[in-house]
């Protein structure tokens, strides 16, 4: 299934995309697409519905983040060997973890707003993993059983805030609008192998990032096992699993960053597409 949330910010309704690409309303069956409806049993009940029996949604409504009420967004840094190389960083011994504030999370096509003083806002396409079952001390072998599905995340980053302001990476990762998520949550039964998904990001029609999840340093199983050994992952939590090479920070001979009016377009195989226009904060 492809589960979505559509409507104006704060008023999103639950829906699904049927096999013909039609948006169908799920409001009669669930209140929202949150962790409460992402268990295997709950998803199976939704899967049993006849999509043709669900009301078709007219027009072209906005898509919100594909998961509502996200408890935490865990982000893995430097998780592609070629991305680590382009930034001059060493391969980490363990997954690098930082958190993105949930207030940064927006819809897949919402405007990305560069904060005041920003000179180094950058793009990062990432595979998002949505937890469906509580995970604590989970083994690698069992890790994927705790996944509800997958989505696209743009881990937008302000590099000066991230690297030059005293403190943690979170400063450059959590600015408002810096977490476009969606357009839909694709349930895990429709993703045969999360470690073999092609990824691409364009800025103003020019390809910047090309990659595949097969080149992750730590795969999805390893990430879930590691994080769940440190703290509990709850249904509805999202893990952004790192970005392939091609970020603005790593461009040669000098970095290239976003400016007002730029357009980012992101795709991950089987997970849809995002499109964001960039503006400066007032």
**CA-closest candidate to residue 51, choices 90, 88, 114, 4:** 4
The stretch 52-79 carries a mean pLDDT of 97
The stretch 107-133 carries a mean pLDDT of 98
**CA-closest candidate to residue 102, choices 189, 170, 11:** 170
Q: What is the mean pLDDT of the chain?
A: 96
Residue 132 lies in a domain: yes
Q: What is the largest CA-CA distance in the chain?
A: 56
- pLDDT of the residue at 90: 83
pLDDT per position as a tens digit, 15-28 = 999 999 999 999 99
User: Is 86 a residue whose pLDDT tops 80?
Assistant: no
Residue 239 lies in a domain: yes
What's the DSSP call for residue 173?
Answer: H
Residue 129 lies in a domain: yes
* Judgement on whether residues 49 and 135 belong to the same structural domain of the protein: no
Least confident of 79-88, 104-113, 198-207, 256-265: 79-88
**Structural domain of residue 252, as residue ranges?**
73-280
User: Binning pLDDT at 50, 70 and 90, where does residue 100 land?
Assistant: very high
User: Binning pLDDT at 50, 70 and 90, where does residue 115 land?
Assistant: very high
User: Binning pLDDT at 50, 70 and 90, where does residue 84 land?
Assistant: confident
**CA-closest candidate to residue 212, choices 147, 129, 172, 268:** 268
The total number of structural domains that make up the chain = 2
Residue 272 lies in a domain: yes
Contacts (Cβ under 8 Å, ≥6 apart) of 245 = 80, 82, 83, 85, 86, 209, 211
DSSP alpha helix (H) spans, the chain: 40-47, 81-86, 159-163, 170-173, 220-228
User: Is 107 a residue whose pLDDT tops 80?
Assistant: yes
pLDDT per position as a tens digit, 212-256 = 999 999 999 999 999 999 999 999 999 999 999 999 999 999 999
The stretch 42-54 carries a mean pLDDT of 97
* Judgement on whether residues 27 and 108 belong to the same structural domain of the protein: no
3-class secondary structure, 98 = strand
Q: How far is CA 21 from CA 25, 231, 263, in A?
A: 13, 38, 24
* Judgement on whether residues 264 and 184 belong to the same structural domain of the protein: yes
Residue 191 lies in a domain: yes
* Judgement on whether residues 220 and 173 belong to the same structural domain of the protein: yes
- 76 forms beta bridges with 97
Q: Are 250 and 87 in contact (CB under 8 A)?
A: yes
* Judgement on whether residues 44 and 77 belong to the same structural domain of the protein: no
């Amino acid at each position: 299934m492809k589960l979505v949330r559509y409507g104006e910010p704060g008023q999103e309704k639950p829906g699904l995309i049927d096999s013909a690409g039609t948006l169908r309303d799920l409001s009669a069956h669930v209140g929202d697409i949150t962790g409460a409806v992402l268990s295997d049993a709950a998803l199976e009940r939704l899967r049993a519905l006849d999509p043709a029996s669900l009301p078709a949604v007219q027009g072209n409504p906005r898509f919100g983040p594909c998961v509502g009420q996200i408890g935490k967004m865990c982000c893995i840094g430097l998780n592609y060997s070629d991305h680590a190389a382009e930034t001059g960083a060493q391969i980490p011994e363990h997954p690098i973890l930082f958190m993105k504030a949930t207030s940064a999370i927006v819809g897949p096509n919402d405007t990305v707003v560069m904060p005041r003083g920003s000179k180094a806002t950058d793009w990062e396409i990432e595979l998002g993993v949505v937890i469906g079952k509580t995970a604590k001390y989970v083994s690698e072998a069992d890790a994927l059983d705790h996944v509800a599905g997958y989505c696209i995340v743009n881990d937008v980053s302000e590099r000066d805030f991230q690297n030059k302001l005293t403190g943690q990476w979170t400063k450059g990762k959590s600015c408002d609008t810096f977490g476009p998520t969606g357009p839909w949550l694709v349930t895990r039964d429709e993703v045969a192998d999360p470690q073999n998904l092609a990824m691409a990001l364009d800025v103003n029609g020019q390809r910047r990032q090309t990659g595949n999840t097969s080149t992750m340093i730590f795969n999805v199983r390893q990430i879930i096992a590691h994080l769940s050994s440190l703290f509990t992952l709850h249904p509805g939590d999202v893990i952004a699993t790192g970005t392939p090479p091609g970020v603005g920070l790593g461009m040669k001979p000098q970095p290239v960053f976003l400016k007002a009016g730029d357009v980012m377009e992101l795709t991950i195989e089987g997970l849809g597409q995002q499109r964001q226009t960039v503006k400066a904060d007032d």
